[in-house]
Amino acid sequence: MTRRPCLRALAVWLVLALLAGCAGTPVPREHGLALREAEIRGTWLGQWARQAAAAHEGRSGFALLARGEEAFVLRANLAEQATRRLDVQTYLLGEGQTVQVLLHRLIGAAERGVEVRLLLDDLTATGQGDRLAALDRHPNIQVRVFNPWPLGRNHLVTRVLFALPAMRRQHRRMHNKTWIVDNAVAITGGRNLGDEYFNAGEPRNFADIDLLAVGEVVDDLSLSFDLYWNHFLSQPLARYHIAEPEAWRGLFVELSRHLAEQRDSDSPYFVALRARYGAAAADTLFRELHWAEGQALWDPPGKAAGRQRSPLEETLFGVLLDQLPELESRLVIVSAYFVPAEQGTALLARLAESGIRVEVITNSLEATDNAWVHGAYATRRRALLENGVRLHELRSRQPNGENAGIGITGSSLSSLHSKAVSFDEDLVFIGSFNADPRSVIWNTEVGVLVESEPLVTEFLAFVEAGMTPSLSYLPGLDGAGRLYWLTELDGRLARLAREPGSVRARFLAWLSGVLGLEPWL
């Protein structure tokens, strides 16, 4: 084939791909709204939440969920308690035994008459068309995908290739995570839905943080879900994947069979759950709550629709900055992906030089699941250290992680996936937001800002456990300005002159810096 026909064929392909972006199977798309107050009061969870909040007027109740097992049990239990509505928003819906349980609970709730709405980022829905379409066929379940693309949906490679003509929008993703039941109880934070987020993964698990909320802040989280659900970027899955009308029944039978096999085979994960929570698993909902003022913050869903950057004041990050008081003593940043860029590095340096104790905990090169991001962080590491910022890089294996309270063990590889920031001793933000340009500029995020000394104390205990040399590498500069990593090996402090990590990870991190990928990470 000559060059001209090749170019003509490529042009035709691009035009067809662009036109297909507006195509899809005609499917009704109805707007949805949160339950009315009377409807919430008519649910068991609504009654419990209102009674619990009665003595705390103007405040909401919060609980930190640092252990993956507890975060899973609570989600499953809340699905069982649902009466009217179950709203699930997630960036990623993975595979594995915990997802099978949660999907089984979603269908079980729908069978009881609960309206289930599942909103999933379309990029991570790639290859899951059959399962999601079967789920969507239940009369009480609706599945929508955010920022969809109709071509190449069966494989991530083809999905990305066919989306190249619309890459300006397609690289923007919905990163929000919420689990809202009867508009009365909500969970938000860093966890997607997958075994590795609930400490059930092999070979890797993620150390993460969620926040359980009841009270007035749930109304705002419910509003954020509805804004995304009703936005034009949220499209019914059935416009791209359609299953047989009764396909959900087959999925339910398959999930039931998998769960029965897990019980019969004494799955180590579920055996451990039964030993820890036992018959009292339902009582995890009634744990002690921290009652405090809280504010839900989120990016507008239209942030993912534009071709240009959204004005900072219209983003979650901009609103968060406006809400913050002047720091007095301490700033702690926990971010799986930490890319402060030039402005962020300068800001943190100024704070440290002014006497504020600035501490960051992120992944080490050996622990990260994205060496490209680590490469962008590494280019700023020396400047941060020179100006007094304290860095802690989580190790890939945590032999004492569970005992230390960070909720992961040394039986598998581990990575940090938490996203949280504390300000002095009484203010903390927990959500899906990473301290990187992707969260600030491109993706949409959600979280809750809470003013509570007891909650911050609990959060800092979790964080400080992860900062110890037995669990993290502590980068520093010697007298000659050379980087080193302080850690604990065999019970003794050791100073490493070379950054721990594989040859492949080193190369990708180096290449990231060479290519200048920082603004996109």
Residues involved in catalysis: 175, 177, 182, 417, 419, 424
Amino acid at 192: N
- Give the Cα separation of 398 and 406 in Å (integer): 9
- Give the Cα separation of 81 and 261 in Å (integer): 25
The pairs formed by 41-46 with CB atoms below 8 angstroms and a separation of 24 or more are 42/83, 42/84, 43/82, 43/83, 43/84, 43/182, 43/184, 44/81, 44/83, 44/182, 45/78, 45/81, 45/82, 45/83, 45/181, 45/182, 45/184, 45/185, 46/83, 46/182, 46/183, 46/184
262, two tokens: 């897990």
Cα 142 to the center of its chain, rounded Å: 22
The pairs formed by 493-497 with CB atoms below 8 angstroms and a separation of 24 or more are 493/469
- Give the Cα separation of 382 and 444 in Å (integer): 30
- Give the Cα separation of 514 and 366 in Å (integer): 20
Q: Which of 113, 38, 86, 40 is nearest to 225 (CA)?
A: 86
108, two tokens: 């079980």
Report H helices in 112-155.
Answer: 129-136
- Backbone φ, ψ for residue 124 (5° rounding): -80, -5
Q: What is the dihedral of CA 148, 152, 153, 156, to 10 degrees?
A: -100
- Give the Cα separation of 49 and 44 in Å (integer): 9
Positive/negative CA dihedral, 102, 104, 107, 108: negative
Residues 229, 233, 237: CA angle, nearest 5 degrees: 75
Report how far apart, in Å, the C-alpha atoms of 257 and of each of 254, 262, 263, 445 are: 5, 9, 10, 36
Cα 435 to the center of its chain, rounded Å: 13
List CB contacts of 245: < 8 A, sequence separation 6 or more: 137
Residues 459, 464, 468: CA angle, nearest 5 degrees: 155
Q: What is the DSSP letter of 441?
A: I
Q: Which of 60, 432, 31 is nearest to 226 (CA)?
A: 31
Q: What is the DSSP letter of 388?
A: T
Amino acid at 366: E
